[in-house]
Structure 1
Amino acid sequence: MKTSRREFLKVSSLAGGGFMLAVSVPGVAKLVQAGNQTDLPELNHFLSIDLDGNVIFQLTAHEMGQGSGTGLPMILAEELGADWSKVRVNRAGYDKKFIGVIRETTGGSGTIQDHWDLMRRMGATAREMLKSAAANQWKVSVDQLKVEEGWVMETGTTRRLSFGELAEAASKLKAPEEVEFKKPAEFKIVGQSVRNLITDEVVTGKGNYGINVDLPDMVYASIEKCPVYKGKLKSFDDTEALKVNGVIQVFALPALEPAEDMNHIQEGVVVIANSTWVAFKGRKALKIDWDLGDNSNNSNKKIEDGFNKAGEQFEEPVYTQGDYQKVKNEEGTKEIESTYINPHQAHALMEPMNATAHYDGDRCQIWVGTQNASSVVLNVSKAVDIPDDKIEVHTQNSGGSFGRRYYPDTSIEAAYISKQIIKPVKLTWTREDGIQHDYFHPYQESRFSALLKEDQWVGMQVKLIKTVDYGSGDHLWENPYPVDNMDTYLNAVDGLVHQGAWRSVQVHSSSMGKECFIDEVAIALEKDPVALRNELLTKEIETVKFNRPTRPGQQPFDEIVKEFRIQIRDKYLSVLNYVEKEGLWEKAKTEGGGRGFAMEDFFANTVCAHIVEVEKDNSDWGIRIKKISSVLDCGIVVNPHFGRGQVEGSIIWALSAMKYGGIDIKNGVVQQSNFHNNKLLRIDEVPEIEVHFVPNEEPPTGLGEPATPPLAPAVLNAIYDATGRRIRKLPVTREDIIS
């Protein structure tokens, strides 16, 4: 497959000799094409080859355990023809010059899929330049040459030159306009279970995690925050705190006005000390008087009351197809209804939230594990009142993130504190801070109605109530199965706590109800639930009518929805075909047990299905999950080891939320505080997990989150099959299962 470059590639020599390949932003490319090369800014290089033949890749994505620091160079090394043992990874950190070339944030399972083409093009470009350098030296045609494991070789002879020997000469050549990509059948690195390049760093403690940052003359900070969302500080007495040996200073932290939505900084009192543990001890000695405000009345009941009120106030549907009400009134039509609750969920990260800042009066440096460094720059700029070009972000690894480190709150706090004391300072949250002041997974109630006539599903109505309205995209996955008559409604209510992205974001919010309700419909129709899905997905895709205005320049929503359904239908069917071919659904049927099925697409990219096998037992939960078989259509799997790990991690993540999740709010305060009352799944609770990838030569479509959304509905469907109990909320307790 041939490809033309879309970004401008610049080749130059490394200092000391070698090869460097850089990529500019599209605007710079226009300058170059006009011949105005003197106006070029310094470009960022992604790939370099030194005189020893080492291939150095500059990692701009955030590494938080998903393996992007190995997956991306695998793609590049594949096309380059590199010796994998000579591939090295450097962390490039944040730089505005990357904007427009790469995706600047890490999230949405998008790192590999968004950089697939660019990595291949860079590797293939460098490969062809090395071949050209060898052809020039040997005075032969490039067509006579091939590249394998770090060598350029002449076909039919024993002549060969290493990348190191050719790097300097290749750096003096012009990058080719077109390159040819390898065919998937030719891959030798991509598709292999390659060991993670950062494993040695992690095991030896050399990994650059945010919590490990250590700077000369650094002090340590901890913040006692108002326990109620958006409460205010009235006064504080630091007399006893200052008596704690090692406490240096105490001062108030205001509610800093963020530069973006959803970044509220809670008011509090800052304790500065000569160690983190002393800062924690000083906090405990503070005496504080809070103005808790109206949010001190917040509770889970208030959420429920707000949802009940919103449920009586639906107006026109967001989109429609056919005429639900007309069909409902026809003779012989039966309506069934169900409501599903997906509550707030905490992140409960293993590495507590933290950031280190050094404001020196003119510049501010930040050391932080972040998925969104550009947001850190934007918000810190406002917090310390200096231009964003005076802010430098040193991106660190993260010990877990799952969407939480997308938000810059700790960086804002650390920068503000550093400005008050003009010293480098490390801010560390306690575990309790991290749970009680989390950016929680939004709360959602999904109300479903279905119209059944004879043996057909002829109408569907969805009424959603959410604490966050992400926009019209929320409705794309509500009805992936074509039903002739559909309405979708949405009401948003005010949130009572911080809210933000949680592994799989709004897809998880909706998947549980949707994938359980289709099973309810199947049972009412006396059909196998997997067969019903197959039946629906073979129907014609109709155009829906959107009742929300389209913004200027935006594609009409009705077209977006139709394209979305067509796009995902093939992937849904490929997963179902694989399930049938391998007999996975039939094998899950056992005497005395139950089986459940659910499937979901993740933003029209990866489709994941889970088949869950359960059996009743006398455990604390009342039921045992025996096995989970997962099937995914996710394009080419760059590293199957990482791929399986992401699926397994997503399953364990979702099971923790299912068994132990949700938060309790009393008098405005989140009651969960640590792992004793915000439990995570233990190793003896993890079932057998079997992961299947549908064979595919399409580009990768992401694996970090897609296995989370369908897990809960698959388990709930299996519980119903085993016990006859239909559970429609999370978390699931023993009483839900056996009472």
Structure 2
Amino acid sequence: MNCVPKIDRRSFVVSAAAMGGGLALGLDIPFGGPRVIRAQDGSPEVNAWVVIRPDDTVVIRIARSEMGQGTLTGLAQLVAEELECDWSKVTYEFPTPGQNVARKRVWGDFFTAGSRGIRESNEFVRKGGAVARQMLIQAAANDWKVPVSEVSASNSVITHTPSGRTTTYGKVAEAAAKIEPPAEVKLKDPKDWKIIGQGVKRLDSLDKVTGKAIYGIDVKLPGMLYAAIKACPVNGGKVKSFDAAKITGTNGVKKVVKVEDYAVAVIADSWWQAKTALDALPIVWDEGENAKVSSASIAAWLKEGLDAEQAFVGNKGGDVKAALASTAKKVEAVYSYPYQHHVTMEPQNATARYTPDKCEVWCSTQNGEAALATTSEACGLPLPKCEVYKTFLGGGFEDMTHGWYHPITQCKLTAGFDADKNLTALHVRISGQSILAKVRPAGLQEGRDPATFSGFYAGGAESAIGYSIPNILVDHSMRNPHINPAFWRGVNINHNAIYLECFMDELAKEVGIDPLEFRRKLMAQHPKHLAVLNAVAAKVGWGTPAPQGVYRGLAQAMAFGSYVAACAEVSVDGNKVKIHRIVGATDPGHAVNPAQIDRQVAGSFVYGLTGLFMGECTVKDGRIEQENFDSYDMMRIAEMPKVESIIMPSGGFWGGVGEPTICVAAPAVLNAIFAATGQRIRSFPLKNHNIQMA
């Protein structure tokens, strides 16, 4: 009998699929050891992921950011499943980026985006829970002087099977924290999961509904001052001059400072004093050549790209040019999609406390480690003297008028049929902005932005096209206006799904085939795409009569590693569109919390439908015209359709759930509108066509 496992330290490799490429991070994860590390309340840390208090409370550390999507609870479920703890006694805490760096990135990546929070950390957080469980069991076995093989754990209770003796996690946590972690742990078979796959209540809901939860803008420190900042309204412009004397020393104003060469900030005793003083501050801007740019000039430039000779290729198979030249029937359509904004409820903000020996920042951030690096760079202190404390997020941050926007694009689609009505060729030309060219040029692949082709990839585990077409070409004429593009929720798949799925309906109409049957014919080699499409069709009774005056539309896609589809039912009365219901199907591989997935699907449809009907940022004199919710509208509760979710995890992979279904809401509704009216709309938002939500 050996009551103490062999001392070894595990090194896990965490694969993080970067946008269009692979990034492998070797993480040295010290799951425990002889030296007891304690939480702030003195409770022993069993390992980096698990702290257990004497009263059996289990504190699970969550590295990813919680911005309403439920990642916090889902990650806790993954750890708790392997830990075999009592879920009713689980709580959480956020480790800091500084702690992560100091401990050799024990918690891995702090970055939260792209629906990757769970799918890219599920394995090593589950191993964290499994290792902690084994250490707790070993501690009990050592105390009882029995073979560890005779000891098991369930619901935070450890049992010696032959004698029936029991103890709890809280009683052995101190001893467990001194044990070296096992070299190997076996994770549970999914069929044995008890917490994963259950719609448990979110761990953060109570604090949020009672107002106890702290967001970045809630942070208050003794004696703190407030700053309001104004940047040149034209991106790329500079500060020419400002008259600080007009406001200095009045209404609590402490100082007026120039921020680099493009902005001015006012520092005052309160936020309102800073804001009103900034509004009163005379500033002269040098707006530069970009002030000549407008929405019309950008649209004209992108239109030229639809027929430009040079383009980056994202997917190529067969010979499209030859196939289209010999086709029996050719169909062409041009679509366009505007700039859009996140319009988050919480304004951009951060609180900093600086001394010559320490700089601390409290903020709502999707990337804690990047925030830490930025803090170090800004204050001039080395990383060990800096710290960032993450709070809850009130949304993915972007300022409305000086922010980052969903990229503007146009798309020309050309298809060819043979004499038997078989789709033999498809050319998709996208003209517009590259996100990576602006935010991460290192991610470009020989100048090509792989993010542009979301939903059109020939294969892969991220966002592959779901149709087999003998001759296909998807390419991108990159044109980057001065307006900053960035990762709007759902990113490029949102407009790409509209382009492809609406065009598929157009093609079905051209050859007189039912839209569902037309798709099925092209999807035999794509069973997971087809499965979600069939699921929504069956749920709504596609092929059977809809209620009088109600029309249906379909869409499907693969996004963020998951397979999704939607079927919308709408009615049209003049210029008013009533969306009665949308059925959405999702195959994320594994469903950690079905209740959260259901809510994420409904929330994603709010995003997708708002963008379709109302979302648009326009450019005049080089600047974004929309400044707040009064000029950038959102759909209302009364306009929200009934949402029915079909969650159908097929196993074997981990997909995202926060963003994928956004992309199928709009094309499903557009196809239903076409079925109702015979009108095919190819530019957005619909408000520009005098179409409103009923």
Shorter chain as denominator, the TM-score bin is 0.7 to 0.9
Rounded to whole Å, the distance in 2 between the matches of 1:201 and 1:482 is: 49
Q: Deviations over 1:138-164 (max 9, x none)?
A: 344434433221101233654211111
Query: What is the count of residue pairs matched by the alignment?
Result: 639
Q: Which residue of 2 aligns with 1:65?
A: 68
Q: Does 1:530 align with 2:516?
A: yes
Corresponding letter in the other structure for 1:505: V
Instruction: Measure how far apart 1:649 and its partner are.
Output: 1.0
- Of 204, 226, 235 in structure 2, the residue corresponding to residue 229 of structure 1 is 235
Corresponding letter in the other structure for 1:585: W
Q: Deviations over 1:575-627 (max 9, x none)?
A: 13433554653468343221111111114x11111110000135xx5110000
Distance change (3 Å), C-alpha of 1:379 and 1:124: closer
Q: Which residue of 1 aligns with 2:82?
A: 79
Instruction: Answer yes or no: is the 8 Å Cα contact 1:5–1:121 preserved in 2.
Output: no
- Of 24, 46, 59 in structure 1, the residue corresponding to residue 49 of structure 2 is 46
Q: Which residue of 1 aligns with 2:259?
A: 253
Q: Which residue of 2 aligns with 1:285?
A: 280
Rounded to whole Å, the distance in 1 between the matches of 2:662 and 2:57 is: 38
Rounded to whole Å, the distance in 2 between the matches of 1:213 and 1:268 is: 24
2:159 is paired with a residue of what secondary structure? Answer: strand
Q: Does 1:466 align with 2:469?
A: no
Instruction: Answer yes or no: is the 8 Å Cα contact 1:465–1:493 preserved in 2.
Output: yes
- Of 32, 36, 56 in structure 2, the residue corresponding to residue 10 of structure 1 is 32
Q: Does 1:333 align with 2:328?
A: yes
Instruction: Answer yes or no: is the 8 Å Cα contact 1:211–1:351 preserved in 2.
Output: yes
Corresponding letter in the other structure for 1:641: A
Distance change (3 Å), C-alpha of 1:583 and 1:349: closer
- Of 551, 564, 568 in structure 2, the residue corresponding to residue 612 of structure 1 is 568
2:247 is paired with a residue of what secondary structure? Answer: helix
Q: Does 1:508 align with 2:473?
A: no
Q: Does 1:116 align with 2:122?
A: yes
2:613 is paired with a residue of what secondary structure? Answer: helix
Distance change (3 Å), C-alpha of 1:600 and 1:530: same
Instruction: Measure how far apart 1:381 and its partner are.
Output: 3.4
Instruction: Measure how far apart 1:322 and its partner are.
Output: 1.4
- Of 668, 675, 690 in structure 1, the residue corresponding to residue 622 of structure 2 is 668
- Of 14, 17, 20 in structure 1, the residue corresponding to residue 45 of structure 2 is 20
Instruction: Answer yes or no: is the 8 Å Cα contact 2:564–2:587 preserved in 1.
Output: yes
Q: Does 1:142 align with 2:148?
A: yes
Moved more, 180-189 or 71-80: 180-189
Structure-to-structure mapping, 1:624-663, within 5 angstroms: 624-663=578-617
Moved more, 463-472 or 658-667: 463-472
- Of 352, 356, 361 in structure 2, the residue corresponding to residue 357 of structure 1 is 352
More helix by share: 1
Q: Which residue of 2 aligns with 1:477?
A: 455
Distance change (3 Å), C-alpha of 1:89 and 1:306: same
Q: Does 1:589 align with 2:549?
A: no
Q: Deviations over 1:256-286 (max 9, x none)?
A: xxxxxxxxxxx12211111001111101211
Rounded to whole Å, the distance in 2 between the matches of 1:234 and 1:388 is: 35
TM-score (norm 2): 0.87
Corresponding letter in the other structure for 1:680: M
Q: Which residue of 2 aligns with 1:579?
A: 536
1:448 is paired with a residue of what secondary structure? Answer: strand
Q: Which residue of 2 aligns with 1:711?
A: 665
Rounded to whole Å, the distance in 1 between the matches of 2:136 and 2:384 is: 37
- Of 374, 378, 387 in structure 1, the residue corresponding to residue 373 of structure 2 is 378
Rounded to whole Å, the distance in 1 between the matches of 2:160 and 2:105 is: 40
Distance change (3 Å), C-alpha of 1:206 and 1:390: same
Moved more, 458-467 or 239-248: 239-248
| Structure 1, unaligned runs of 5 or more | 23-44, 256-266, 406-433, 540-568
Rounded to whole Å, the distance in 2 between the matches of 1:643 and 1:661 is: 24
Q: Which residue of 2 aligns with 1:93?
A: 96
Q: Which residue of 1 aligns with 2:213?
A: 207
Corresponding letter in the other structure for 2:573: D
Q: Deviations over 1:693-739 (max 9, x none)?
A: 0143445311111011111111111110111110112101273559x
Corresponding letter in the other structure for 2:361: I
Instruction: Answer yes or no: is the 8 Å Cα contact 1:241–1:285 preserved in 2.
Output: yes
Q: Does 1:152 align with 2:158?
A: yes
Instruction: Measure how far apart 1:166 and its partner are.
Output: 2.0
Corresponding letter in the other structure for 2:562: T
Moved more, 525-534 or 465-474: 465-474
Instruction: Answer yes or no: is the 8 Å Cα contact 2:435–2:486 preserved in 1.
Output: no
Q: Which residue of 1 aligns with 2:439?
A: none
Distance change (3 Å), C-alpha of 1:101 and 1:368: closer
Q: Which residue of 2 aligns with 1:451?
A: 416
Instruction: Measure how far apart 1:19 and its partner are.
Output: 4.7
Instruction: Measure how far apart 1:304 and its partner are.
Output: 0.9
Rounded to whole Å, the distance in 2 between the matches of 1:251 and 1:18 is: 46
Rounded to whole Å, the distance in 1 between the matches of 2:387 and 2:339 is: 34
Task: Give the alignment's Cα RMSD to 1 decimal.
Answer: 2.3
Instruction: Measure how far apart 1:518 and its partner are.
Output: 1.1
| Structure 2, unaligned runs of 5 or more | 1-9, 13-28, 437-448, 457-464
Distance change (3 Å), C-alpha of 1:584 and 1:387: farther
Instruction: Measure how far apart 1:55 and its partner are.
Output: 1.4
Moved more, 148-157 or 347-356: 148-157
Identity level (%): 33
Distance change (3 Å), C-alpha of 1:622 and 1:132: same
TM-score (norm 1): 0.82
Q: Does 1:694 align with 2:648?
A: yes
Corresponding letter in the other structure for 2:171: E
Instruction: Measure how far apart 1:641 and its partner are.
Output: 1.9
Moved more, 104-113 or 460-469: 460-469
Structure-to-structure mapping, 1:559-578, within 5 angstroms: 569-578=526-535
Q: Deviations over 1:498-522 (max 9, x none)?
A: 2211001122231210111111111
Distance change (3 Å), C-alpha of 1:62 and 1:17: closer
Q: Deviations over 1:275-330 (max 9, x none)?
A: 00111110121111111111111110011111122233233662532122222232
Instruction: Answer yes or no: is the 8 Å Cα contact 2:214–2:391 preserved in 1.
Output: yes
